[in-house]
């Protein structure tokens, strides 16, 4: 019991340093855990190539990349924050180590004592972070349900255990490094009042006098503490990278995924058809954010058909900009193997794919009249295509190894695959084929759904004329803007929850900067006392401390923001949509973050100047 009680008493005696370390690692643990279990519950997991869940594989890919990068940065930030704060603590306890060594303690015992303290801090932080992360998850899911999105609350215990163990392991590995370094200090050095861990008396290059006295003193103080300054810059740069990825990535991803959905569904589009078939189509769209059980339906029932004359009548209404008649039905589709020729191999013919099958929604379209503008990997259908098909992203990932090198069989006919589209319809399990080819395979002509692109400036009049035209003909209309609004709202709410993470990142960055400044001020307290005795005003001391914080923040910000933006634009989001407003918002938030960091230095600065001159000069 005594072996643990002494480290616990020691930690409680140093409440401020202990609290900072626990708070920093707790925030990283809770943020990482929240992201992983929140994402897995909505269908986007760290294993982002997993098919299934609420979102299509294309959307899931974007969310999962975000979770993967931010989760990794959170774990790395937690490890570096632990290492940095432990290093600062050991810098203040070098003299304790000297006393322990002078009393006969061997390095192994000293190492074991401080590792025990580290383990207590890490376990407390990870347990607290796990509790807060699970609490944030339940709160977010409950809010989504209150807002009308049917989300089940299923905790992934394996994910929780994995994150917990990884953070404990990584934090121990990084946290023990400064302890080993401090334990190697010689007793004579440790007991010397002039010795400080990681401090050098070399001042480096001379600072130009034009930069002023305040800058020179701040710069020399940073250079003297090369090790601590370097670790502070690395730690802050990592946290600011995380902050940038979260802010920039979150805002841009929100705008981009919203744009993808709008292109896939279409804005100012009216759907006309039989009430039962329209309900089925809307439910298939809504599976993107709310899975529903649906009864089987005969799509080719004659009651659902729409005649050519009806299409002509509706297309002739003033204000109807485009008319897109379609034939929609559900069936099982089959993968067709492809062949790749590699002349450098002994056997130049390589088979691609297998013989998989899946149930999908098949949509016959007239390529020249399609109103959707999906995000396409490859190309869209054109008027010359006869036996070609564009397939949804989830179907492509579930059934095919290389879709554009293979074909898909629909009703015993093989269709080449020129492109893959990002489409929320039926969770991405959809096949678009030329209507003529589909009609030929079915042996019947006609349509069962009609999409009308209308002029938004004449919306009320156009809708009234359409309703008058279809009145009494067993047809109804639905504005897809309502469905689109639900999709956009769902995406916005998800990203809104994610956007709380930069606040946690800023708190951890502030903790690191405050810890560094307090260590720096402790080492400079006597110098500040002498300066004040010689006539320096408290404002001058505060300027020096603020300049130190400003230099560290600017260097860390330049590194962290550059790396964060690079990761966001190059790795996170395919074909990002970036508006001027988004850029201004991202820049504003990042400047706010840097300003907040610099402002946090005022607290230790004010605390330093409140000390009396005599007390500062004779501080130990």
pLDDT in tens, 106-136: 777 778 888 888 888 889 988 998 998 888 8
Distance CA 420, CA 58 (A): 10
pLDDT digits (tens, 9 = 90+) for 488-498: 888 888 887 77
User: Residues 170-184: pLDDT tens digits?
Assistant: 888 888 888 887 777
Phi/psi-derived region of residue 348, left when phi > 0, alpha when psi is between -120 and 50, beta in every other case: alpha
Give the C-alpha separation, 70 to 78, whole Å.
12
The residue extents of the domains of the chain are 1-197, 203-265+498-620, 275-474
Residue 70 corresponds to which tokens in the numbers above? 């931010």
DSSP bridge partners of 335: 408
Closest by Cα among 286, 420, 431, 408 to 353: 408
Q: Among all chains, which residue has been given the structure tokens 């394996």? A: 158
pLDDT in tens, 53-95: 456 777 777 777 887 888 788 888 878 888 877 777 777 677 7
Q: Which residues contact 107 (CB under 8 A, 6 or more apart)?
A: 101, 183, 184
Q: Which pLDDT score, from 0 to 100, does residue 616 have?
A: 61
Which tens digit of pLDDT belongs to each residue from 379-389? 888 888 888 99
Query: How high is the pLDDT of residue 614?
Result: 66
Residue 11: helix, strand or coil by DSSP? helix
Encoded tokens for 369: 């009249």
- What are the angstrom distances between the C-alpha of 424 and each of 63, 97, 476, 584? 15, 62, 23, 30
Mean pLDDT of 287-313: 81
Of the listed ranges 281-290, 312-321, 456-465, 529-538, the least confidently predicted one is: 529-538
pLDDT for 573 beyond 70: yes
* 476: Cα separation from own chain's centroid: 41
Cβ–Cβ under 8 Å, residues 243 and 233: no
Residue 334 pLDDT? 93
Query: What pTM, to 2 d.p., does this model score?
Result: 0.76
What is residue 1's predicted lDDT score, i.e. its pLDDT?
46
d(CA 463, CA 484): 18
**pLDDT per residue as tens digits for the range 200-219:** 444 455 555 555 677 777 77
């Amino acid at each position: 019991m005594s072996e643990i009680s002494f480290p616990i008493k020691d930690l409680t005696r140093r409440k401020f340093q202990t609290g900072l370390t626990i708070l920093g690692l707790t925030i990283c643990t809770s943020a990482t855990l929240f992201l992983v279990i929140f994402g897995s519950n909505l269908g986007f997991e760290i294993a982002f190539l997993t098919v299934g869940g609420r979102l299509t594989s294309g959307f899931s890919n974007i969310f999962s990349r975000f979770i993967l990068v931010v989760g990794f940065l959170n774990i790395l930030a937690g490890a570096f924050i632990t290492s940095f704060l432990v290093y600062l603590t050991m810098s203040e306890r070098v003299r304790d180590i000297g006393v322990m060594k002078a009393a006969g303690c061997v390095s192994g015992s000293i190492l074991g004592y401080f590792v025990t303290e580290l383990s207590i801090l890490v376990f407390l932080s990870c347990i607290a972070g796990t509790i807060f992360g699970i609490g944030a998850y339940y709160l977010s899911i409950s809010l989504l349900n209150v807002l009308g999105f049917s989300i089940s609350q299923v905790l992934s215990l394996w994910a929780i255990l994995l994150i917990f163990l990884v953070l404990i392991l990584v934090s121990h590995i990084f946290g023990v490094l400064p302890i080993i370094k401090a334990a190697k200090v010689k007793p004579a050095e440790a007991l010397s009042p002039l010795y400080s861990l990681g401090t050098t008396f070399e001042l480096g290059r001379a600072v130009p006098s034009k930069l002023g006295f305040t800058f020179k003193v701040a710069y020399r103080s940073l250079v003297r503490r090369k090790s601590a300054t370097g670790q502070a810059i690395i730690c802050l740069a990592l946290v600011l990278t995380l902050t940038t990825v979260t802010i920039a990535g979150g805002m841009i991803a929100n705008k981009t995924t919203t744009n993808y959905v709008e292109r896939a569904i279409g804005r100012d589009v009216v759907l006309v058809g039989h009430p039962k078939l329209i309900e089925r189509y809307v439910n298939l769209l809504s599976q993107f954010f709310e899975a529903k059980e649906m009864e089987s339906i005969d799509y080719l029932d004659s009651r659902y058909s729409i005649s050519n004359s009806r299409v002509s009548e509706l297309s002739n209404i003033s204000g109807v900009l485009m008319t897109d008649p379609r034939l929609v039905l559900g069936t099982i589709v089959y993968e067709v193997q492809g062949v790749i020729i590699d002349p450098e191999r002994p056997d130049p013919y390589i088979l691609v794919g297998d013989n998989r099958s899946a149930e999908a929604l098949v949509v016959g379209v007239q390529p020249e009249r399609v109103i959707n503008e999906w995000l396409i990997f490859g190309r869209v259908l054109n008027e010359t295509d006869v036996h070609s098909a564009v397939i949804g992203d989830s179907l492509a990932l579930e059934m095919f190894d290389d879709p554009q090198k293979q074909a898909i069989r629909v009703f015993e006919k093989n269709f080449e695959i020129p492109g893959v589209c990002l489409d929320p319809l039926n969770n991405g399990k959809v096949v678009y084929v030329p209507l003529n080819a589909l009609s030929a395979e079915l042996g019947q002509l006609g349509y069962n759904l009609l999409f009308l692109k209308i002029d938004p400036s004449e919306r009320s009049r156009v809708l009234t004329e359409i309703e008058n035209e279809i009145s009494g003909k067993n047809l109804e209309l639905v504005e897809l803007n309502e469905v689109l609004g639900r999709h956009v709202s769902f995406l916005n709410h998800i990203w809104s929850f994610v956007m709380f993470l930069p606040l946690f990142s800023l708190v951890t960055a502030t903790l690191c900067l405050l810890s560094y400044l307090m260590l720096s001020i402790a080492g400079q307290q006597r110098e500040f006392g002498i300066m004040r005795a010689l006539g320096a005003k408290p404002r001058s001391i505060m300027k020096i401390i603020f300049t130190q914080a400003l230099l560290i923040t600017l260097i860390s910000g330049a590194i962290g923001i550059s790396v964060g933006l690079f990761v966001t634009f190059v790795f996170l989001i395919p074909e990002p949509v970036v508006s001027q407003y988004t850029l201004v918002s991202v820049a504003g938030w990042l400047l706010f973050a840097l300003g907040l960091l610099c402002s946090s230095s005022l607290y230790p600065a004010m605390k330093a100047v409140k000390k009396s001159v005599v007390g500062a000069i004779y501080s130990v």
